[in-house]
Amino acid sequence: ALPYDRPGTDAVDAFLRELASTGRLLGGVGTGAAWLARAGALRGHRCTLDWAHVAQLAERHPDVVVSSHVYEIDRQRLTSAGGTGARGLAIAWL
Provide the pLDDT for residue 20. 96
The pLDDT of residue 81 is above 90: yes
Q: What is the C-alpha separation between 23 and 41, in angstroms, rounded?
A: 10
What is d(CA 28, CA 81) in angstroms, rounded to the nearest whole number? 9
Strand-strand pairing, 77-80 and 71-74: antiparallel
Identify the CA nearest to 84 among candidates 50, 53, 52: 50
The DSSP letter of residue 3 is T
| Residue 94: predicted pLDDT | 94
Q: What is the pLDDT of residue 29?
A: 95
Asked whether 60 and 33 are in contact (CB, 8 A), the reply is no
Give the pTM: 0.90
